Structure formats: C-alpha cells, structure tokens
C-alpha cells in the first residue's frame, strides 16, 4: 500500500483544514498503551492526552471488555478517568465479530442483550459512540450485505434509545474490510445512528469513504512507525480529514493482551509521531 498514491489526490488544490486537528483531538486505546490500568493512565498523562478509547481492561488475562463489565466496575472506571482529566472518545467492542450464526450461536443469540450492556456502559462513561463488526469474512462478503445491513439497522434502533451511535469497524477478517466496502454497506443503512470506525491500515482509499459518516478514526503502530513497511502518509490523512470537516478524535489502536517491551515502545513512538504531525 503506497500512502501517497492513496491520499495525494484528495489534497490537490486544498487549503489548510476547515477543522483543525491538534493534540486535543488525539486519543489512545488503553489496553494498547499499558500493562495495567495505571500504566495506561501514566501514558496518557505523559503525552498530555485528554481522551482515551476503551476496549479491554489493560493486562486482563481473559480480555475483559469494558463494554461488558458490571455497572459498578464501569462507574469506578468513569470516576478514575475523570479524576485524571480524561474522557472516553470511543468504546470498542467485539459485537458481531464472529461467524453468523453457525458455530457462534450463543454469541448470536445474546447480541441484543450484549448491545444493551455496551450502551449502558457507554452512557456511564459519557461516551456516545461504540464500535462493532460485520461477521467473519465469507468467501462472498457482498452476498451477505443485505443481511448485515438489516441486522445493523435493527441493532442501531436499540442503540439510538440510549443516544449511542453505532460505528462499523473495518477489519481484514470481517465482511466489511475496506473503505469501498464501508461506503457500500453504509449506503444500505440510512440511519443517522450508524457510521464507521475507520482504520486505514487495511482499508484503502480515503476518497471512497462517506465523510459525513466518520465517527472515529484509528491509527496503529504499523501505519505510522518511521521504519515500518506498512507506513502510511498520516500527515496527508490528517490534512484530508481537516479539509473534509472531521470533528471527532483520532485514536492510537494497538495490540491487546500482555504487551511486550517492543510493543510498548512502538506505542510510544507511534504517539510521538502523531503528536509531531498534528503539531
């Protein structure tokens, strides 16, 4: 993937952004920046962040997702974040990240209850956006789009009652993986409560995205490290987002679980690179 070829056409003739993206718009997924919750808070404090994304509790061996913790645990998390001057920009979840329904029948059957739990968590955390997926990628993903659109539209009706927006995440192993596929599925779901959580590392052409449906943007270390073969033109991406009036956050998304020293260093370097880009 050659970032310049992907993003340069968007910038031709553009002036400096309509909506400035600065340090105050940068976030990070907490389980990708620390070995435990305190480490993640220290990382955020060190870089002067005002926002974090939540996914799983940092360092939890069973990948305990914040979206499905008890209300008491969520309230404790909200209190801790507020005490450290942090707000939650986005709630990542594993909703619908499985084969539909087939071998994952139990997850399929609990999807609406799980969404309601995630929405309650988002409300407690003061966050109005949560992410979900589109089912394990099949041999013919487009054949699944009508079903996916119907299902997500139905789930968004539930999230809307909590005033929480439903963001489709693109991922290579899912039925929606690219910018073009995000655009296609969103055309089939007119609900204003549905948008996308865009990670360009595997998504492709920015120009294909429906800009008014961008609810969150993520960058990972592989796409911003200086020596990475997968490095993208993030300066160009940021300028394109500014030009098109993007008003939400950009979050560092890293691997979850027991992070290695190398992964933690990659997270630090990635954040430093992004902060240099946004000035």
Q: In this predicted structure, what is the pLDDT of residue 130?
A: 98
**Alpha-carbon radius of gyration of the chain:** 18
CATH of the domain at 258: 3.20.20.150
**pLDDT tens-digit series, residues 186-214:** 999 999 999 999 999 878 789 999 999 99
Domain residues for 76?
A: 34-278
Q: Is residue 5 part of a domain?
A: no
**pLDDT tens-digit series, residues 54-77:** 999 999 877 899 999 999 999 999
Q: In this predicted structure, what is the pLDDT of residue 5?
A: 34
Q: Is residue 7 part of a domain?
A: no
Q: In this predicted structure, what is the pLDDT of residue 18?
A: 56
Helix (H, G, I), strand (E, B) or coil at 119: helix
Q: Is residue 149 part of a domain?
A: yes
Phi and psi torsions of 256, nearest 5°: -100, 175
Q: Is residue 42 part of a domain?
A: yes
Q: Is residue 61 part of a domain?
A: yes
Q: In this predicted structure, what is the pLDDT of residue 9?
A: 32
Region label for 188, one of left (φ > 0), alpha (ψ between -120 and 50) or beta (otherwise)? alpha
Q: Is residue 244 part of a domain?
A: yes
For the chain, 279 residues long, the average pLDDT of each consecutive 10-residue run is: 35 47 98 96 98 96 92 98 98 97 91 98 98 97 97 98 98 96 97 97 88 97 89 95 97 91 96 97
Q: How many domains does the chain have?
A: 1
Q: In this predicted structure, what is the pLDDT of residue 10?
A: 35
Prediction pTM value: 0.92
């Amino acid at each position: 993937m050659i970032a310049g070829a992907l993003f340069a056409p968007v910038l031709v003739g553009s002036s400096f952004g309509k909506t400035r993206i600065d340090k105050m718009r940068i976030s990070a997924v907490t389980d990708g920046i620390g070995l435990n919750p305190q480490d993640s808070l220290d990382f955020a404090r060190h870089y002067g962040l005002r926002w974090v994304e939540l996914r799983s509790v940092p360092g939890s061996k069973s990948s305990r997702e914040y979206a499905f913790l008890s209300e008491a645990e969520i309230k404790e998390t909200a209190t801790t974040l507020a005490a450290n001057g942090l707000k939650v920009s986005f709630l990542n979840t594993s909703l619908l990240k499985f084969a539909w329904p087939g071998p994952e029948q139990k997850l399929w059957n609990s999807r609406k209850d799980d969404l309601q739990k995630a929405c309650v968590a988002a409300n407690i955390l003061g966050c109005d956006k949560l992410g979900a997926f589109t089912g394990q990628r099949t041999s013919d993903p487009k054949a699944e789009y009508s079903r996916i659109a119907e299902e997500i539209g139905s789930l968004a009706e539930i999230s809307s009652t909590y005033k929480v927006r439903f963001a489709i995440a693109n991922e290579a192993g899912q039925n929606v993986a690219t910018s073009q596929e995000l655009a296609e599925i969103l055309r089939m779901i007119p609900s204003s409560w549905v948008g996308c959580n865009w990670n360009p590392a595997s998504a492709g052409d920015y120009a294909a995205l429906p800009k008014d449906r961008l609810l969150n943007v993520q960058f990972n270390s592989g796409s911003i490290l200086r020596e990475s073969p997968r490095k993208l033109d993030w300066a160009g991406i940021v300028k394109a987002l500014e030009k098109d009036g993007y008003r939400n956050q950009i979050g560092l998304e890293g691997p979850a679980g027991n992070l290695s020293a190398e992964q933690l260093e990659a997270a630090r370097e990635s954040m430093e690179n992004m902060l240099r880009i946004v000035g």
